[in-house]
Structure 1
Amino acid sequence: MNSTPATTPPPVPSGRPRLRLPGLLAGASLAVAAVAWGAWYGLSGRWRVSTDNAYVQGNIVQITPQTRGTVVAVGADNGDFVRAGDVLLRFDPSESRLALAAAEANLASVVRKVRGLYSDAGSARAEMAARQVAVDKASADFERRKGLAASGAIPVEELAHARDDLRLARTERDAVRKRFQTRQSLVDDTMLVSHPDVIVAQSALRAAFLEHARATVLAPVTGHIAKRGVQVGQRVQPGEPLMAVVPLREVWIEANFTETQLAGMRLGQPARIRVDMYGDEVSYDGKIQSLGIGTGSAFALLPAQNATGNWVKIAQRVPVRIALTRPEQLDAHPLRIGLSAHVDVDLRDRRGALLAHSPPGKPASETTVYRDQLAQADALIRRIVRAAAPAGDRTPEHS
């Protein structure tokens, strides 16, 4: 006889549900995190924008020769520190030294020739004065003999001779006057140093002096050597890149922010920079120096062609230049060109302008290492002129 087993009824739940502690803790953590994030965003986060699309940039000063020549010495190698005015390269100076010597001799010769022109003009003036005296004497003799001839005291032939002497004196005076005018026109309204021939010779000497001085290539700025590719014995041409000087103390940060992050940005706003090389332990102080005039794609070699059938909108990025405001931080932790960086900008102060409204008050970059070269050439010219035209031979119109 088969018997069916009795079904056991399910347990009846108690009147009070059991609490799920892990779920409550997770919910509480989320609530606390949301409140903390809201507080952070309200107090600080909404006043900050950041990007890790940022890189260290700086001036890369290319060293290119101003004259052709053969390299005989290289004064610095990659990584070396140089100061403005230090010798980087020397070329064989033989050709430039010969050209300079020829220019010096030419100037001395021209100065002596011009002195001769002044002397010729003075001699012609004195001769013209003497001829005028002869004309006056002949004219007086003719007038006296004309009266005597009228009274019959002298024969008519003597009066004719007196008339011929007067005509001859006048002819010689006119010839001397023309010679004087010709010689005077060569030196008229000039002094020795401002005579056209002397100026041409001085210009040739300056050019030869600069050519000789440029056989020594100087560092235009203070910095570190990079990209050195020149070798001793190499024949180089003007404008050929030989090495570069990078002033690492003048670097800046180029941060590429999206266009949606630019609304609150103003010139002068403070920024905090961190670079991957040193990590979060090292930071740099900076400020916004300029906001880009266009997006990166607008100035690309091949700009984007958005008027196409298949088009996807992409948030554009604008380069923002961040100037480092504390150079001592660079002394402690120097940067290199091209390092990756992370930039945070504080947007609280919005009193600054969006764009610069006045031209810069000083050059963005300059060098003075070539400033004295022409002054040295002028000093050489003065010495040559003094030697070719001694003080005893110079008159006020010659000096």
Structure 2
Amino acid sequence: MEIQAIIKKSKKTKDLITELNPGDIALIAHKDIDEIAALGLIEKKIKGVINIHQSISGSYPNQGPRMLVEKGILLWDNVSAEIWEKINNEDIMTLTKDHIKNIEFFLGDPLTMDDIGAMLQKAEANFNNVLDGFIENTLSYAKKEKSLVTGNVEIPQVDVKIKNRPVVVLVRGKNYKEDLLAIRSFIKEMKPVLIAVDGGADAFLEHRFKPDIIIGDMDSVSDAGLHSAKELIVHGYVDGRAPGLERLNDLGLNGKVFKAPGTSEDIAMLLAYHYQAEIIVALGTHSNMIDFLEKGRKGMASTFLVRLKIGQKLVDGKGVSILYNSPLKARSLVWLVVGMLLPFLVITFYSPTVQQIVKLFLMRLRYSF
């Protein structure tokens, strides 16, 4: 095996994904490759990934590496960090199965599905220990951050009318594109307020929807996305710092600051609830331990608190596309047809008129031969 390819590198995988082209090799520093990162790499149709960190550390069963290898993308794992200094961005290199020829650098064999299966098995065995720590962290921070939902947080004014309207909050999480596609008809018919959390704005635009509000750090949304929204709300730190404002200023855009602990998706839902949304449909949101560990968070205090408060209005649409895409089995189709014919058969049996018509038809058929 020998591959010649352009190698592109970045220690922020989500930034690198925007620069990749089909056939490239990605050089990353990504411990526990998550599903969203894997999907981004897969969509770019790259040939391989060189990771200087452990793709599966064993702390939890992350599925990103499995997804990459299943798609035929070579994954060299836990490669010596020395490679970072030996390769410049966009160098053209020739790779064999276990080394880079140009610089005679040893990579080791790429991971196989058997390798990944064994790693995931070890991670599963450690799951309860990690869960215990995650719960402790969540409860501890929930006590410190409860002001987020008890009315002690200043929520910025918005010009978009939210009261008594449905709201869709879109986050770049698992299956977010498929889930958005699944509720496309709902959006067209009900005309909900569309709130994008950072890169969710670009997903709306891909489906020809314009976000009404973008809320977040403003670090993973395109310039086009930022220009498309009616309102921009920067998620700021409790102490008042809001780094996302700098980018908006550079683009000549105005934004309001929402100072609050927690995640941007939490404050997006809190904003919708505060302004009396009829319902809040959440797509791609993070709601379980693995979701948060993939984001590098060791707890989910703010999410726990926000969902505790807004639960009566929240419709979690995460994974709804799986329901819509369930295949119709042949047996189910047969029973559906039988169910449709049954009323007709009953009417035929009991109706004298229909019986006479059937008899006349049979008699005519008999004398025709």
TM-score range, shorter chain: under 0.3
Larger Rg: 1
TM-score (norm 2): 0.17
Which structure carries more relative contact order (alpha carbon 8 Å, separation 6+)? Answer: 1
TM-score (norm 1): 0.16
